[in-house]
Amino acid sequence: MEVLCEDQLRRLKTHKYSSSGTSLIEPVFQVYWRWLVEYFPKWVAPNTITVVGLIINVFCTFFLLFHCPTATETAPNWVYMVNAVGLFIYQSLDAIDGKQARRTNSSTPLGELFDHGCDSISTVFVAIAVCITLQLGNHVWAMATICLISYVTFYHGHWCAYVTGALQFGKIDVTEVQLMTMLIFVITALFGPTVWKILLPVIHVPAHLLVLLFIVVGSISAMARFMRIILSGGCGENGATIANTSVLSPGFNIGIIMAFAISIAARSKTFLCQHHPVLYLLFVGIISAKVTNRLIVANMTRSELQLLDTSLLGMLLLFLNQYFGFLVNEYILLWVCFIHSVVDLVQYLSCTYQQIANHLNIYIFSLQPRQHASKCK
């Protein structure tokens, strides 16, 4: 399966990473990250560092998924601490992969795409892990709001990059959110998840409500900032996107996913989202990660973002099953659609990475040059 055409590959080769803005805490952590990268041998490929961090992060989250399949259960305290450590490792490795690329003179567009691809997947698992830690399975629509708004906010960041040609960072950004998430894990590990049900003095609301409010307000503020930049015009002709398309066109892709996700959850007679919130929101998250990666590829190749995608097949099947009177057991169908979404994402990413590596005549996980490239099939 060849994902990119020759014109896209040619434009990708000229792509240069660009970003604007610095968060409040990032300059402090830069000192630590510059120190850390010096301990990595120069033969270690940057993509290897990135994927190891993602594997650790996802592996730690699976402990939570195992112990809390409906986000209402209580996991052993060590599970929450493991997630805090796993996220810290992921943050550290994710921050130094670019530095490793520069110190080994191996910076390529593939490295940037690989980094953002891992971030899109990590976002899904971290959002689910936070909801499980706060036991939001008892408040399913609050859990759905946190997860969906996290997926949409991440998408907006790359939507903004597709319009302006550069990633835009705010004063409160990824580093700060990750630190807050680690703090949530550590507090839960020390005092148990019931700590979030304690009524706060003066305002007399449960602690988890304050956390939810912070996440929602922060996400809405970030999306508002992105939309102001998007609507002010892009770097293309007449204020268009980097691919000279409408600045609003990427909104359809994430919009249709959110519409399907909310509609399926609300219309389900078996209360699919209420009874299986973790599985359902993981399913939606994997699809969101797929369309986000397609947006990143469109940005880096300066090409038009296609409206329809095979990742939508699972949601369409669930929707049609409801429309025609629930001909198939929804829970079984959800598992089938979830597996399809995972396979679809893995196939898309693996073939895209391999095709780009072939074009650039490099390996994905090695710094050694190669002379012969085979096509991804």
Examine the pLDDT at 336 and tell me if it is beyond 70: yes
Between the alpha carbon of residue 69 and those of residues 36, 66, 162, 274, the distances in Å are 36, 6, 36, 12
> Residue 88: its pLDDT value, please?
97
Unique residue bearing structure tokens 């650039």: 360
Q: Within a domain: residue 286?
A: yes
In a domain, 343, yes or no: yes
Q: Would you call 116 a catalytic residue per the annotation?
A: yes
Asked if residue 376 is part of any domain, the answer here is no
Per-residue pLDDT tens digits for 209-239: 999 999 999 999 999 999 999 999 888 888 9
User: In the structure, how many helices (H) and strands (E) does the chain have?
Assistant: 13, 2
| 131-173 residue pLDDT tens | 999 999 999 999 999 999 999 999 999 999 999 999 888 888 8
Show the tokens assigned to 66.
């195992």
> pLDDT band at 1, cuts 50/70/90?
low
What is the pLDDT at residue 373?
45
pLDDT of res. 328: 92
Reading the block at residue 255, the tokens are 């919009």
pLDDT surpassing 70 at residue 371: no
* 174 CB neighbour count, 10 Å cutoff: 18
Q: Is residue 243 included in any domain, yes or no?
A: yes
pLDDT tens digits, one per residue of 250-274: 999 999 999 999 999 999 999 999 9
Average pLDDT, rounded, for the chain: 92
Query: Does 11 have pLDDT greater than 60?
Result: yes
Q: Please determine, for residue 320, whether its predicted confidence score (pLDDT) is greater than 80.
A: yes
Following DSSP, what letter does each residue of 220-269 receive, concatenated? Answer: HHHHHHHHHHHHT--SSGGG--TTSS-TTTTHHHHHHHHHHHHHHHHH-T
Residue range 191-211, pLDDT digits in tens:
999 999 998 888 888 889 999
What tens digit of pLDDT does each residue of 20-36 get? Answer: 888 889 999 999 999 99
SS3 338: helix
Say whether pLDDT at 376 is over 60.
no
Does residue 371 form part of some domain? no
How far is it, in rounded angstroms, from Cα 41 to Cα 54?
Answer: 20
Options 116, 139, 208, 340, the catalytic residue: 116
Banded model confidence at residue 370, pLDDT cuts 50, 70, 90: confident
Q: CA nearest 111: which of 8, 15, 3, 40?
A: 15
The residue ranking higher by pLDDT, 343 or 375, is 343
What the block records as the tokens of 336 is 């089938």
**Is residue 377's pLDDT more than 50?**
no
| CATH code, domain carrying 268 | 1.20.120.1760
In a domain, 368, yes or no: no
Domain count, the chain: 1
> Is residue 249 predicted with pLDDT exceeding 50?
yes
DSSP calls for 87-100: HHHHHHHHHHHHHH
For 70-84, b where at least 16 C-beta lie within 10 A, e where not — what string? bbbeebeeebbbbbb
End-to-end CA distance of the chain: 5
Q: Residues 82-119: pLDDT tens digits? A: 999 999 999 999 999 999 999 999 899 999 999 999 99
Residue 367 in domain: no
Assess if residue 97 is contained within a domain: yes
Domain of residue 225, residue span:
6-360
Confidence of residue 369 (pLDDT cuts 50, 70, 90): confident
